[in-house]
Amino acid sequence: MDFILDLRTLSFVVAVVSLVSLVVMVTIWRINQRQPGMRHWLLAGLFSVPGFLVMPAMVIWRQPLLEGVWISQSVSLLTLSCVLVGSLRFRGFLPRLRWPWLLLVPAVQWLCLLSIGHHPAGRYLVHDLLATGLLLATAVTFGWHSIPEQRPVFRLAVALQVLLAIALAWRWGLAWQLQDDLAVLHNPWQGGFYLLVVVYNIGLTYTISLVCYQQAHLRTLSLAQQDALTGLPNRRSFDDTLDREVSRAERSGSRFGLVMIDLNGFKQVNDRYGHAAGDALLIEVARRLRLVARSGDFVARLGGDEFCVLLHDLEAADALPQALGRLQELVNGPAQVLGHAVTIEASFGAAVWPQDGAQPGELMKQADERMYRQKAELKAARLASAARPGMA
């Protein structure tokens, strides 16, 4: 056991593990180059290798070990800074950060060492305190508000950071008690700490690969359930949501409404101004629907020029007419489409659960029929208006 936990042997093991982790990190980076934070995580892997090679090099070249400790600790702080920045970028909490800022934490370390002079345990007291802060900040970054699908992987990342932070806090307490850097370096428990660093290196690489895979998977799922043009949920997402809404309403007994929307004259816009103008019109309608939808309402594009809205909290007798009025008032009206002035006119048809149908198909059929009935009435009104003398 003494040989396994020998400091020199473990220093070499940590360096080899860091090198292997770097090779894996390069592979992850090549696959996920556009992922926010990936470059900083790659930098962390690049810095960790020379940082952990310092101690074996000092042993081979018979140099003072404490000088190697100081260099290794400086590089490790730079490594942990890159891990933190990468995590912040990945979670979307940090805009672009210029590279010189990464040197801030090692600079703070050097300033602290200068301020405390030749304190016999200064190296560990300064490094472990700063490193613990960086690890806890990374843990908070991963543990901050996340969607349920991300939580298992993010919890693993948090546990990894907290575990090493606890070990560093313990070593800081040891340095405070022993008041001697060399005594801390050769303490029997230092071997266990190095083993924990091996676990951290392997775990960090594994966790980064997991979060990148998960992010790519979530993006694929989002594309599968999102309309590429408008960004609204698509027909597949609508069908799933409507099924869930019916099941929820059956349990709670609360009413909800389904509104089908179809644009009138959309083909004429395409024929007159081109398909780009038609796409821009659909995007504008989607924007207006997002504005009018209340919190909790669901808006989707079913395809072509058809949209739908799921309305909640329709217990009041006038709730549906009021909601339809809001939709019609905001969606219908003049708009600028690629520099062309057009007038948006849509037909609306609504159905309420359970009065108009207890099943999704029944609700959609009722709403569709009422929407096409309104479309026919609007068309008849236009024809009648055009037929009157003096009307163009």
Same domain, 178 and 279: no
Q: Is residue 107 part of a domain?
A: yes
Same domain, 80 and 123: yes
Contact 238, 297 (CB under 8 A): no
Residue 134's pLDDT band (cuts 50, 70, 90): very high
Check residue 74 and give its pLDDT.
84
Which residues are CB-contacts of 126 (< 8 A; sequence separation ≥ 6)? 109, 112, 113, 116
Categorise residue 323: left if φ over 0, alpha if ψ from -120 to 50, beta otherwise.
alpha
Same domain, 220 and 264: no
Check residue 1 and give its pLDDT.
40
Same domain, 170 and 307: no
> Which of the given ranges, 142-151, 158-167, 175-184, has the highest pLDDT on average?
158-167
- Spatial CA neighbour of 230 closest among 268, 269, 281, 275: 281
Candidate from 118-132, 260-274, 316-330, 378-392 with smallest mean pLDDT: 378-392
- Asked which of 195, 224, 253 is the last residue of a domain, the reply is 224
Q: Is residue 56 part of a domain?
A: yes
Tell me which amino acid residue 176 is: W
Contact 108, 131 (CB under 8 A): no
Check residue 188 and give its pLDDT.
79
For range 155-175, the mean pLDDT: 93
Q: Is residue 166 part of a domain?
A: yes
Q: Is residue 2 part of a domain?
A: no
Supply the CATH number for residue 173's domain. 1.20.1070
Same domain, 214 and 249: no
Same domain, 185 and 248: no
Check residue 217 and give its pLDDT.
83
Domain containing 42 equals: 7-224
Candidate from 77-86, 118-127, 160-169, 370-379 with smallest mean pLDDT: 118-127
Which residues are CB-contacts of 159 (< 8 A; sequence separation ≥ 6)? none
If residue 90 lies in a helix (H) or strand (E), which one and from where to where?
helix 65-90
Angle between helices 235-252 and 360-387 (to 10 degrees): 120
Same domain, 211 and 247: no
Same domain, 379 and 302: yes
Q: Is residue 229 part of a domain?
A: no
Rounded to 5, what percent of the chain is helix, strand, coil? 70, 10, 20
Residue 63's pLDDT band (cuts 50, 70, 90): low
Tell me which amino acid residue 281 is: L
Check residue 391 and give its pLDDT.
46
In sequence order, the β-bridge partners of residue 343 are: 334
Q: Given strand 298-303, what is the order of strands in its sheet?
A: 298-303, 306-311, 256-264, 340-353, 333-337
Residue 390's pLDDT band (cuts 50, 70, 90): low
Which residues are CB-contacts of 47 (< 8 A; sequence separation ≥ 6)? 75, 78, 79, 82
For range 179-197, the mean pLDDT: 81
Same domain, 274 and 179: no
Does residue 317 surpass a pLDDT of 80? no
Supply the CATH number for residue 333's domain. 3.30.70.270
Check residue 3 and give its pLDDT.
39
Check residue 337 and give its pLDDT.
87
In sequence order, the β-bridge partners of residue 138 are: none
Domain count, the chain: 2
Same domain, 381 and 246: yes
Q: Is residue 392 part of a domain?
A: no
Same domain, 273 and 208: no
User: Could you please report the per-residue DSSP string of 305-331?
Assistant: TEEEEEE----STTHHHHHHHHHHHHH
Q: Is residue 287 part of a domain?
A: yes
Q: Is residue 256 part of a domain?
A: yes
- Asked which of 224, 259, 276 is the last residue of a domain, the reply is 224
For range 164-188, the mean pLDDT: 86
- Asked which of 189, 205, 224 is the last residue of a domain, the reply is 224
Rounded percentage of the chain residues whose pLDDT exceeds 90:
30
Residue 170's pLDDT band (cuts 50, 70, 90): very high
Same domain, 54 and 111: yes
